[in-house]
Amino acid sequence: MRVVTFGELMLRLAPNGYYRFFQNDQMQATFGGGEANVAVSLANYGVDAAFVSKLPTHAIGQAAVDSLRSQGVDTCGIVRGGNRVGVYYLEKGASQRGSVCIYDRRYSALQEAKPTEFHWDKLLEGADWFHFTGITPALGSNMVQACLDACVTAKELGIKVSCDLNYRSKLWSRAAAREAMEQLCRYINICISNEEDAKDIFGIEAEDSDVHSGKLVQSGYQQVAEQLMQRFGFEKVAITLRSSISASDNGWAGMLYDGRKFCFSKNYNLHIVDRVGGGDAFGGGLIYALLSGKDTQAAVEFAAAASALKHSIEGDYNRVSVAEVEKLASGDGSGRVQR
């Protein structure tokens, strides 16, 4: 199994623990980004996972590449050049204080890359799956074209395409997102969304649900999945279901619709260590499960369990194995010490 992902890898700077910005004079420096996070998950599951992007040749750019190599990700498709690694600052929330992300990614190497720098016939050679998120085309019209080129090539080669819609209001407007994603969704086989993305991009909203009060109604998300599938002809639609009790405690589950039946995972009561990358962990788990031949119910159980485990791990990357995910998916969530 070979999966290729495409997106931006950023430098993540975060105060230690739950400190506020500059409450002390130290920050932890790690790396992360939606599609890179998916590639790391897949590499940890034993999949041949490759990440495509553009990063500078200087020391910070090389450190970003090395962070992926250390997790077993194939970085040969990363174009080298440009001047900046995108940065995001994360202040982790706790209790009733929400987390804060501040992005500093303008003029990054990928944002300024030309679509012609990515030779998709070579980059996708031998691949079974291509994955990107709505964050990448949000970086600019050049990245819309790059994603489109990749999707067209994948379709010509018979490669499955998945996309996590991941709407980011700080990067583009709803109108711009809708225009670009309407075009890209025509090439997507597996669509991943959450309770807000479908509404923000396509105006498709779950009825009788309020994510801020923690109220989620299953029938509303079934309607969202049906409308997405009818509109674009997806093979499958996955929706993550997060009920936010506080910044520290969430309910978490997933739904997968295959055009015939709606399968819901078990619900997890999460006490969160780090929620960034949780959706990417779901995506990585889903891709692995589907490539492994799991049925619809087993696939969403694996994806939801993988994501639940990510909420217990510091940093963007989900550093877990297939055995750990399957143990939780099977119902063993006791958290007892393993001896």
Contacts of 144 (CB under 8 A, 6+ apart): 137, 180, 183, 184
**pLDDT band at 210; cut points 50, 70, 90:** low
Q: Write out pLDDT tens, residues 278-314.
A: 999 999 999 999 999 999 999 999 999 999 999 999 9
Could you tell me which of 138, 228, 144 has the C-alpha nearest to residue 190? 228
Averaged pLDDT, 160-170: 94
Task: Enter the tokens of residue 304.
Answer: 């939801």
Distance from C-alpha of 114 to C-alpha of 136, rounded to nearest angstrom: 13
Q: Is the pLDDT of residue 213 over 60?
A: no
Distance from C-alpha of 273 to C-alpha of 66, rounded to nearest angstrom: 25
Q: Please state which CATH number belongs to domain 2-329.
A: 3.40.1190.20
CA angle 132, 295, 222 (to 5 degrees): 70
**pLDDT band at 195; cut points 50, 70, 90:** confident
Q: What percent of the chain has pLDDT over 70?
A: 96
In this structure, which amino acid lies at residue 213?
Answer: S
Could you tell me which of 143, 135, 144, 137 has the C-alpha nearest to residue 166? 135
Q: How confident is the model at residue 333, as a pLDDT?
A: 80
Could you tell me which of 98, 89, 184 has the C-alpha nearest to residue 135? 184
DSSP string, 143-187: HHHHHHHHHHHHHHTT-EEEEE----TTT--HHHHHHHHHHHGGG
Reduced to 3 states (helix: H, G, I; strand: E, B; else coil), residue 270 is strand
Q: Which helix (H) or strand (E) holds 213?
A: none
Q: Is the pLDDT of residue 266 over 80?
A: yes
Distance from C-alpha of 77 to C-alpha of 69, rounded to nearest angstrom: 12
Q: What percent of the chain has pLDDT over 90?
A: 89
Q: Write out pLDDT tens, residues 77-117.
A: 999 999 999 999 999 999 999 999 999 999 999 999 999 99
- pTM score, two decimals? 0.94
Task: Enter the tokens of residue 33.
Answer: 């980004």
**Is the distance from CB of 124 to CB of 118 less than 8 angstroms?**
no
Distance from C-alpha of 274 to C-alpha of 92, rounded to nearest angstrom: 7
Q: Where are the domains of the chain?
A: 2-329
**pLDDT band at 202; cut points 50, 70, 90:** very high
Distance from C-alpha of 3 to C-alpha of 285, rounded to nearest angstrom: 12
Residue length of the chain: 339
Q: Is the pLDDT of residue 54 over 90?
A: yes
Chain-centre distance of CA 254, in angstroms?
14
Distance from C-alpha of 152 to C-alpha of 256, rounded to nearest angstrom: 25
